[in-house]
Structure 1
Amino acid sequence: MKKLKKTELLESLPPCKAKDLDLSSPLNLSYFEPFFVGLFEGSGCISMGCSAAKGGNLSYGRLQIRLKNLPENVKMLQSIAKEIGGIVIYEKKQGIITKVVWFAIAQKNVARCLQIFEKYPFLTSQKICQLAHLKKCLQNRSWSYHLETRNFKYAQQKEMLASYKKDFVIPPYFGPWLSGFAEAEGCFRSTQALSFYICQNQDWYILNAIKRFFNSHHKLGINKDLRRPWLDSVQYRLSMSGKPVLEKIVQHFTKYPLYGYKQVSFQVFCEKFFQKQH
């Protein structure tokens, strides 16, 4: 991938303007696919299942995205099922639908997703490791192979983290990827002071890339999980505020729109932002 210069990270964007999305129009796959990858990296999961065919010893891949059951999220996952493949189901808790879930289990749908993941490679260390394990299991479909290797799927993660911390290259598709990732992990805070907040386990380099992308001066912080001190995991956070950075954030999500419920909170965020400009 070509390494972008700092001045190229944020392209020339149109003037700030809050607007509603028309999701009834045909989707631009050159945008929607990397958006899907970012969303999957934030809220998706890769797992293996065991087929009942041929003695029940063949493994297959399962992909899923679980989101809160809100109309905007339902529509977004239905768009993924329509344009990329898979199905959308609902999860109930005590008789009440609480989650909407996109599933890709059929081999043709998983294969389609793998093509997209090749075209727009994963950026987070955990998903990179999960995908590598999935590919190995699809080459050796014996269920016993998965059982023997699943505990080692993250064996290269620490080495990967150290490498990316030194030299992470922001890819050309980072803009739409970031919008999908923010749909899962981002938060538009507008109750008091305006800010955009995002956190990530382990992957310091991802938040640093987002910081660089918006030419932000804000420092990355650490969230300490006092409830589980035995876990060898660190959660990093990035909170960005101030007119110069917030203007770039508004411009970004106007050019690279959100498709789920985060679009609703973004609209509220924009209204508050524009009110402060008068």
Structure 2
Amino acid sequence: MLNIMAKYICGHVALEKKQDYEYVTLICQKERDLVKLFAILAKYPLLTARKQSQFNFATACLNRKFKYDLFIQSRRVKYENKLEQLNILANKKIPNYFPAWLSGFIEGEGNFSLVFNHNGSLRKSAFTIGQNDEIHILEWIKTYFKGETKILKDKPKKDGNFSYYRLHLYNEKTRNNIFNHFYSYPLLGHKLISYNKFYLYHNKPKSV
């Protein structure tokens, strides 16, 4: 997926080997690449308050060419308008580019799970996704897939300064909407492996 982005947008892909896995990163450093990337994000705005705050900070740095001291000072307060961003997004309608954006978002944040009993029978099957504070994203996903379950809010952590929300989608109607979505807007990264297992299990031929 990142190789496709590097080919058609900008940057290069770096591979970092961890103890038991490989971490892949797309890096865009050249100013002309950042200008190109920022133009895309201006046309198709980021849909989480956290990422929009990061984008606003990066844009300000590029436009104003901050000196180091001002850069450090501004970086410390880049999330100070996050609540304002959340309020704006909470009152926003689902944008027309949401389906394509959603596939990329699920690539990074979603989870497809199949849990079996000891005898091999299916105990639980669900698509799950969670977010810190950004409940509007889960509301949009629930609406888009025509989900009927409630969005859950976890108990706050002892020293946490955020609210964590989770959405579980698992009935057949919603599942088919998910399958139809990924037929039109396929996953392009590693998440495709778990999705294919999820899809194939629910679409295997029924025994007579």
| TM value normalised by structure 2 | 0.89
Offset of residue 162 of structure 1: 3.0
Decide which of 169, 173, 189 is 1:244's aligned counterpart. 173
Tell me, in whole angstroms, the C-alpha distance in 1 between the residues paired with 2:34 and 2:24.
19
Match of 1:190, SS state, is strand
Offset of residue 223 of structure 1: 3.0
8 A Cα contact 2:49 2:89, kept in partner: no
1:264 matched to which residue of 2?
Answer: 193
| Identity value in percent | 32
Q: What are the within-5 Å matches in structure 2 for residues 41-120 of structure 1?
A: 76-93=1-18, 98-120=22-44
Q: Unaligned 5+ residue runs, structure 2? A: 116-122
Tell me, in whole angstroms, the C-alpha distance in 2 between the residues paired with 1:209 and 1:92.
35
Tell me, in whole angstroms, the C-alpha distance in 1 between the residues paired with 2:184 and 2:47.
21
Tell me, in whole angstroms, the C-alpha distance in 2 between the residues paired with 1:277 and 1:270.
14
Q: Which amino acid aligns with 2:132?
A: N
1:129 aligns with 2:45: no
1:66 matched to which residue of 2?
Answer: none
Higher relative contact order (CA 8 A, sep 6+): 1
Structure 1 moving runs of 4+ over 4 Å: none
Tell me, in whole angstroms, the C-alpha distance in 1 between the residues paired with 2:137 and 2:100.
14
1:155 aligns with 2:86: no
Tell me, in whole angstroms, the C-alpha distance in 2 between the residues paired with 1:131 and 1:269.
34
1:188 aligns with 2:117: no
Q: Which amino acid aligns with 1:134?
A: A
- The alignment of Structure 1 onto Structure 2 pairs a total of residues equal to 199
Q: CA RMSD in A?
A: 1.8
1:14-63 deviation digits (Å, cap 9, x = unpaired): xxxxxxxxxxxxxxxxxxxxxxxxxxxxxxxxxxxxxxxxxxxxxxxxxx
1:204 aligns with 2:135: yes
1:217 matched to which residue of 2?
Answer: 148
Distance 1:277 1:181, change over 3 A: farther
Q: Which amino acid aligns with 1:212?
A: T
| TM value normalised by structure 1 | 0.67
